[in-house]
Structure 1
Amino acid sequence: MKGLVVLFPVLFLFLGSFFGDAAAAQGSKNGVYIVYMGAAASGKGSLRDDHAQLLASMLKWKKNSIIRSYKHGFSGFAARLSAEEAHALSKKPGVVSIFPDPVLQLHTTRSWDFLKIQTDVLIDSVPSPSLNSQDQESDTIIGILDTGVWPESESFNDKDMGPIPTRWKGTCNAGNDNVSFSCNRKIIGARFYDIEDDVVAKGQSPRDMVGHGTHVASTAAGQAVQGASYYGLAAGTAIGGSPGSRIAVYRVCSPQYGCTGSNVLAAFDDAIADGVDVLSLSLGGSAGIVRPLTDDPIALGAFHAVEHGITVVCSAGNDGPSSGSVVNFAPWIFTVAASTIDRDFESDIVLGGNKVIKVFIISFVNPNKYNWGESINFSNLQKSPVYPLIYAKSAKKDDANENAARNCDLDSLAGALVKGKIVLCDNDDDMGSVVDKKDGVKSLGGVGVIVIDDQSRAVASSYGTFPLTVISSKEAAEILAYINSKRNPVATILPTVSVTKYKPAPAIAYFSARGPSPLTRNILKPDITAPGVNILAAWMGNDTGEAPEGKEPPLFNVISGTSMSCPHISGVVAAIKHQNPTFSPSEIKSAVMTTATQTNNLRAPITTNSGAAATPYDFGAGEVSTTASLQPGLVYETTTLDYLNFLCYYGYDLSKIKMIATTIPKDFACPKDSGVDSISNINYPSIAVSSFDGKEGRTISRTVTNVAGNNETIYTVAVDAPQGLNVKVIPEELQFTKSGQKLSYQVTFTSALSPLKEDVFGSITWSNGKYKVRSRFVVSSKSSKSY
């Protein structure tokens, strides 16, 4: 995706070798296969008999072939095998699946303040405890599966924190960095996973040498750091969602090997035994690659983690805005999309004097100023428009293609025509990144670049001291009109400034992956959205490549992606777990989803970055509320039985399901009606119905649990249904008399339209005057596109 390089210019250029399709292909050919053998025999780390026997025979058969062994939360191992050997092993007793070790991708402050402001303004709810209160004490443990951590960051100080929880069973493995890397009462555990399980090479440790993991960890649970900024931008107090929580670091990604599935599974296995409460994974596969659940390392690890009471939060992916691009779509995973906040980074363009333009913007203090650009640059150009401005097409080499020239592609521009000028470049041919265009113009002596890109306009990337800004095609038309009307057009690019209270916000980021789920349309994915654009958080302390010329490496950085939205939800989940320690992972997910908002700071429906109305395929249940989610009133508990039934409905046979699950009733059997349409009936906080026939209709059941106390209360239902769809809820009232009480209801969908012309959306809200519990729904017809 073009936007990935734009979003993370340093991160993805440096790590491009294992975040793209080429890396995925390499991962499938490295000779390592994962042998998944389902549930572990016990929680004490002892190997199951068939696992032990197969492992013993493997060791005799192929010396040094075993890379990893999984034995805590589930059973299996990773080994170097030929395709023929893998096929032979797949026939062995106890083997559920065997698949090549995949290479996964990273999906890579004001945000918490914005979420609180949104909640205060838009939600009329019961007063709730304050999320990320600096004096909040919590023993909740968040496990971060990522690129490691920079422990010296001030975000991870353990000042005023109490003793490490006695239930923590993990370790602090500093590897070859034991001189400087140390854990404390904040970072209470650290592990790392490289391709060789028993060899620790020079430099191998949990230390973050990328920055991504540090950014993620501090967003979820960083301590409050006053005066944080990115070289003066986004200045303020940086703080995580649950600053009182503890952090356990699992470095599963490395520049050498990427984020391999075998490492991810090993981290899941260790984290289950270590005793974490929440697992946060800002990584996943690529859109378009739909593996069976038993071949998906994140889905497998998450299933067993949830069985052990651990909430697993994952990013939805950065392959948006294409439909059906969402990843991490298993129903037991909490899947997070990305949205904007009300802070903008503004890099303005000043054009030369023009009478018409001066009149048009006379209300501005500077009549020649256009508030158009979006980027982070520390331009040292003069503030007055004294630099010649040229459209790149006009600087074309004689032998160059015109399309390549207007896109400022490599070797397409004449240096004599570019030198000393600001160049206006298109960015619509996918031949190079914005950074490539900058470097090309700079090498020819150009003094600045204006890039036209409707998508990346919404995401600020850092270009150091070089004057560069990104505008939309609408603003480009104005600048081109100016260029064409003047014999000697001139301009300048101003250094970036932060703008807060920007409207409208939130909006769904263009890169954020979209539903419907390619696994099944009968589960709505993504589940939720959270801030993921221009997020300030801690960074590794030695990143000279990120530092502008003449500056020290940054202690904080601003980056974007669903990688950044995921830890926002992880922090909220940790706060809910602290507030409601008996909540199961599904009840926590329900608390977040049913209290989400669908309204922006203009009190209008949330839109996408393009301005179109957003749907649950874009944002799931909506944007997270940091207060209402702490006291949800009612919750939907998706039980282990629901997940077992899901596997039945999806097509797995009973023998395989019994091998996979740890907690399975002895008398469990797949329901007689086990078609995929039955997936709609698992007790999920949202409702998705596919292959809908309006005349036949469809009836769906749900059960809610009262978590608001023992006072008697009555909830009444309100339905928001689209035109042409009839939605009837029975009963229309639910009367609760005690805490923990469960009551069920049915929803019947009918329509005179058969088939529906398009997928339609609505909501069902239960309210008792104090709490509002909303479930979003989507109904799609048989003619809807499959992914």
Structure 2
Amino acid sequence: MKDDSHPIICCLVFFFFFFRFLGETTRADNIGEKKSVYIVYTGAATSSTMGSSRETHIQLLASVLQRREHAEKRFVHAYSRGFSGCAVWLTKAEAHLLSKRHDVVSVFVDPIYQLHTTRSWDFLQYDLETFSNPRLDSASLSDQPDTIIGILDTGIWPESDSFNDKGMGPIPSRWKGVCMEGHDFQASKCNRKLIGARYYNASDNDDDSESKKPNDEDQTARDIVGHGTHTASTAAGISVPGASYYGLAEGTAKGGSPGSRIAVYRVCMSSGCRGSAILAAFDDAISDGVDVLSLSLGAAAYSKPDFSTDPIAIGSFHAVEKGITVICSAGNDGPTSSTVVNAAPWILTVAATTIDRDFESDIVLGGNIVVKGEGINFSNLKSSPTHQLIHGKSAKSSVGSNDDASKCFPSALNGDKINGKIVLCDHSDDSYSKKEIRNAVKELGGIGLIFIDNLERSVASPSGDFPMTVVSSKEAADILSYINSTKTPTATILPTVTVNKFKPAPVVAYFSSRGPSSQTENNLLKPDVAAPGVNILAAWIQTNKTEEVPAGKKPTLYNLISGTSMSCPHVSGIAATIKSMNPSWSPSAIKSAIMTTATQTNNEKLPMMTDSGSKATPYDYGAGEVSPTGALQPGLVYEATTNDYLQFLCNYGYSLSTIKLITAVQSGFRCSDNSSTDLISELNYPTIAISQPTSKGSKSVTRTVRNVGADDETTYTVSVISTDGVNVQVKPEKLEFTKAMTTLSYQVVFSTTASSPTNNDLFGSLTWSNGKYGVRTPFVVSATS
């Protein structure tokens, strides 16, 4: 009998192996599965990974992808010089498998972060000529080394006068970076001022973008946004006399450390800043030899990534570990509380304040009643109040509501009623931006705009030739009273004038993100300090955009911008100057010098306020407004080592096995047996934050300070300022330093009183003084545990 089963079995065997092979290929390539860019962070760069990181990580990926050639195609970035890791294309399942490996710290989707976007140095009373380039200005500082500030941002406009290298000496020999050739950017664009430039290719997270090629504008360190140019010149631009914004804010534009060198790392495009690029820049900057890193960017307040999945926290940890000071903006999500970002303790986090300059654009009402407004415009209206004035609600369209028309929502306005008139608008929510409303009113024939906005009153909005100004509700009351008192109200909006020595200043800007940080359970105070961040004049890019350009003028080469993005490079410049004078100081010592010498009063010699008129607290400004000259002579400094930060991670909740992956400094380190979030307060930080003791209990923290003052033998005595509800005792009350005893510790004991409010945070400070230096440490006793 003929056996017909043999060919059938052969076919079954063939298809079995065929589909098995197809399955393996599908698993290897994950055909049909969505892939995104993931960051795989594997911790410290070790001798076994440095120089062969790509090969090491290809082997790591191959363990999940099955085939080596597929791993090679998935690479976006490899990190090996400052730390270890890579950015690669993965499916969600592949990422999950990698995250389970014992040699991987974290695996997370490549995040997109956003930018946190003259006279300011004069306002800070900083003698830049004394603390500029030591080779140029001060023979007494001639032995001090140059400092190098790395700027992670949108790139740079190298032709700006702010980056001229005239008179600068040779580039420091320790510099190991490069000036990358790119689109419209030759290596010759770098000089002895701008000594390095790098860019990082953008990579969309769309499933089909793995094979996409970046466009020309991605392939360059040239700034096409303006933000990076502005921050770089604020931190380290040379003095440029006669700078202005079309004649406004005229004066000398200058950076905080004009003698420092600049290295630019373009990590941001107009669409945002990829975490994978940020990590690549950290990796390069650590190896290149920068002294200070300045990042005016960060995550949104609502995202709050964990420290092990935040590219800025990861990169900055390894930078600080290598002796690089990292300064970051606090974010622009204020005035809501608990919105501060970049809150890792190894980062110096900066809030934003105003300076003593106002851009006044007044309204003149019929009868020559003058109401002060704020705005940047070059109004061509008649100076006499002959133009009709109308409230938005009186120009309601047939489909609009009274409320929407009052706010001048474009869909709610009737153009026939607006044409030829100045329009008064409430701006009490952010459904439409000022720019969107301005454009809509302009298209409908309106000839001017007055916004009522309490929050944004102190931040001048540019509007070019179009007359636009902002008033507070208090000022608006006079305008509304006038409108209601006459049948034909008239007005005009005057062009902007610069008002210097404006009071009160500084004021905490409404947009500046606030503490406390929810990441550290109220046991670490953030932000750290505040610095000028409102209407800051600094270098800008050449552009063909003419929307804000006054008639007959060329686009400005210096621009007025606001944000914690602008406050951050102010502190970066100060940190670079401190480093140049104290090259052996650690990042924590530099941070301490800036924080303990900060001020809390304004130019009326009264406590600093917020934009809303309330008294500012450490949740608003940290230790206070930076004092550049004071920070050069702090007297005492608080220092934290890598092991201190590792103990912080223990208290935060990381396991010892994870911590040992993060850092190569492992010798004998162990987490404390009683590690807990409450012990975060024990980190040797220049500020103190604790949760409120129980009604009959107390809490204590210990701090250690090092004498860096001029006198080896000196005695510091403590004074305490506290609020009702908390008793503060410092032990000992005197610190006696000698040549042999340069470092001393003290304990602070907090206890609540019978009158202590259980639902209020309590603020105060302690100051150590020897008659020459005052070393101030603010504290907060949080009502919530």
Q: CA deviation at 1:316?
A: 0.1
CA–CA separation in structure 1 for the residues paired with 2:257 and 2:158:
17
Counterpart mapping for 1:743-782 below 5 A: 743-753=744-754, 756-782=758-784
1:266 matched to 2:256: no
Residue type of the partner of 2:618?
P
1:76 matched to 2:85: yes
Q: Which has the larger radius of gyration?
A: 2
CA–CA separation in structure 1 for the residues paired with 2:132 and 2:624:
18
Counterpart mapping for 1:346-385 below 5 A: 346-353=360-367, 368-370=369-371, 372-385=372-385
1:90 matched to 2:99: yes
Check 1:63–1:757 CA distance in 2 against 1; reply closer, same or farther (3 A cut). Answer: closer
Residue of structure 2 in register with 1:60 after alignment:
69
CA–CA separation in structure 2 for the residues paired with 1:739 and 1:86:
54
- What's the CA shift string for 1:70-105, capped at 9, x where partnerless? 000100000011100101111234111000000001
Moved more, 60-69 or 585-594: 60-69
CA–CA separation in structure 2 for the residues paired with 1:599 and 1:739:
37
Residue of structure 1 in register with 2:638 after alignment:
636
Moved more, 43-52 or 381-390: 43-52
Counterpart mapping for 1:239-254 below 5 A: 239-254=254-269
Check 1:445–1:250 CA distance in 2 against 1; reply closer, same or farther (3 A cut). Answer: same
Counterpart mapping for 1:363-762 below 5 A: 368-370=369-371, 372-520=372-520, 521-545=522-546, 546-664=548-666, 666-738=667-739, 741-753=742-754, 756-762=758-764
CA–CA separation in structure 1 for the residues paired with 2:668 and 2:112:
38
- 8 Å contact from structure 2 (residues 235, 257) kept in 1: yes
Counterpart mapping for 1:192-341 below 5 A: 192-195=199-202, 201-203=215-217, 204-255=219-270, 258-341=272-355
CA–CA separation in structure 2 for the residues paired with 1:694 and 1:193:
55
CA–CA separation in structure 2 for the residues paired with 1:509 and 1:736:
40
CA–CA separation in structure 2 for the residues paired with 1:195 and 1:493:
44
Q: CA deviation at 1:428?
A: 1.8
CA–CA separation in structure 1 for the residues paired with 2:499 and 2:255:
21
Residue type of the partner of 1:396?
K
Q: CA deviation at 1:460?
A: 0.6
Residue type of the partner of 1:417?
K
CA–CA separation in structure 2 for the residues paired with 1:474 and 1:369:
14
CA–CA separation in structure 2 for the residues paired with 1:271 and 1:743:
35
Residue type of the partner of 1:239?
K
Q: CA deviation at 1:742?
A: 0.5
CA–CA separation in structure 2 for the residues paired with 1:739 and 1:229:
53
TM-score (norm 2): 0.90
Q: CA deviation at 1:673?
A: 1.3
Check 1:591–1:139 CA distance in 2 against 1; reply closer, same or farther (3 A cut). Answer: same
Give structure 2 stretches of 5+ with no counterpart: 1-33, 204-209
Check 1:543–1:694 CA distance in 2 against 1; reply closer, same or farther (3 A cut). Answer: farther
- 8 Å contact from structure 2 (residues 245, 559) kept in 1: yes
CA–CA separation in structure 1 for the residues paired with 2:748 and 2:409:
56
CA–CA separation in structure 2 for the residues paired with 1:671 and 1:582:
30
Secondary structure of the residue that 2:461 maps to in structure 1?
A: coil
Q: CA deviation at 1:446?
A: 1.1
Check 1:755–1:350 CA distance in 2 against 1; reply closer, same or farther (3 A cut). Answer: closer
- 8 Å contact from structure 1 (residues 131, 627) kept in 2: no
CA–CA separation in structure 2 for the residues paired with 1:315 and 1:287:
12
CA–CA separation in structure 1 for the residues paired with 2:505 and 2:724:
27
Check 1:326–1:181 CA distance in 2 against 1; reply closer, same or farther (3 A cut). Answer: farther
Residue type of the partner of 1:759?
D
TM-score (norm 1): 0.90
Q: CA deviation at 1:44?
A: 9.2
Secondary structure of the residue that 2:519 maps to in structure 1?
A: coil
Match of 2:196 among 189, 192, 199: 189
CA–CA separation in structure 1 for the residues paired with 2:187 and 2:708:
46
CA–CA separation in structure 2 for the residues paired with 1:519 and 1:531:
26
Match of 1:39 among 33, 36, 44: 44
CA–CA separation in structure 1 for the residues paired with 2:643 and 2:279:
24
- What's the CA shift string for 1:703-747, capped at 9, x where partnerless? 000111453110000000111210000000001112881000000
Moved more, 682-691 or 68-77: 682-691
Q: Percent identity?
A: 60
Residue type of the partner of 2:180?
N
- 8 Å contact from structure 2 (residues 532, 570) kept in 1: yes
CA–CA separation in structure 1 for the residues paired with 2:421 and 2:689:
55
Secondary structure of the residue that 1:774 maps to in structure 2?
A: strand
Match of 2:156 among 149, 161, 179: 149
Q: CA deviation at 1:45?
A: 3.5
CA–CA separation in structure 1 for the residues paired with 2:58 and 2:444:
64
CA–CA separation in structure 2 for the residues paired with 1:61 and 1:155:
47
- What's the CA shift string for 1:491-540, capped at 9, x where partnerless? 10011110000000000000000000110111100000000001000000
Secondary structure of the residue that 1:699 maps to in structure 2?
A: strand
- 8 Å contact from structure 2 (residues 295, 568) kept in 1: yes
- 8 Å contact from structure 2 (residues 239, 252) kept in 1: yes
CA–CA separation in structure 2 for the residues paired with 1:739 and 1:129:
33
Q: CA deviation at 1:234?
A: 0.2
- What's the CA shift string for 1:673-710, capped at 9, x where partnerless? 10111110110010000253242110110000011145
CA–CA separation in structure 1 for the residues paired with 2:619 and 2:162:
34
Residue of structure 2 in register with 1:358 after alignment:
none
CA–CA separation in structure 1 for the residues paired with 2:433 and 2:215:
35
Give structure 1 stretches of 5+ with no counterpart: 1-28, 121-127, 354-366
Equivalent pairs, count: 731
Q: CA deviation at 1:132?
A: 8.0
CA RMSD in angstroms, aligned pairs only: 2.1
Q: CA deviation at 1:433?
A: 1.0
- 8 Å contact from structure 2 (residues 42, 106) kept in 1: yes
CA–CA separation in structure 2 for the residues paired with 1:66 and 1:212:
29
- What's the CA shift string for 1:381-410, capped at 9, x where partnerless? 111111011111111123321111111111
CA–CA separation in structure 1 for the residues paired with 2:783 and 2:455:
31
Match of 1:172 among 172, 176, 179: 179
Check 1:343–1:42 CA distance in 2 against 1; reply closer, same or farther (3 A cut). Answer: farther
CA–CA separation in structure 2 for the residues paired with 1:235 and 1:728:
50
Moved more, 408-417 or 671-680: 408-417
Residue of structure 2 in register with 1:359 after alignment:
none
Residue type of the partner of 1:566?
C
Check 1:599–1:285 CA distance in 2 against 1; reply closer, same or farther (3 A cut). Answer: same
- 8 Å contact from structure 2 (residues 79, 280) kept in 1: yes
CA–CA separation in structure 1 for the residues paired with 2:627 and 2:192:
29
- 8 Å contact from structure 2 (residues 651, 677) kept in 1: yes
Residue type of the partner of 2:281?
A
Residue of structure 2 in register with 1:345 after alignment:
359
CA–CA separation in structure 1 for the residues paired with 2:560 and 2:404:
31
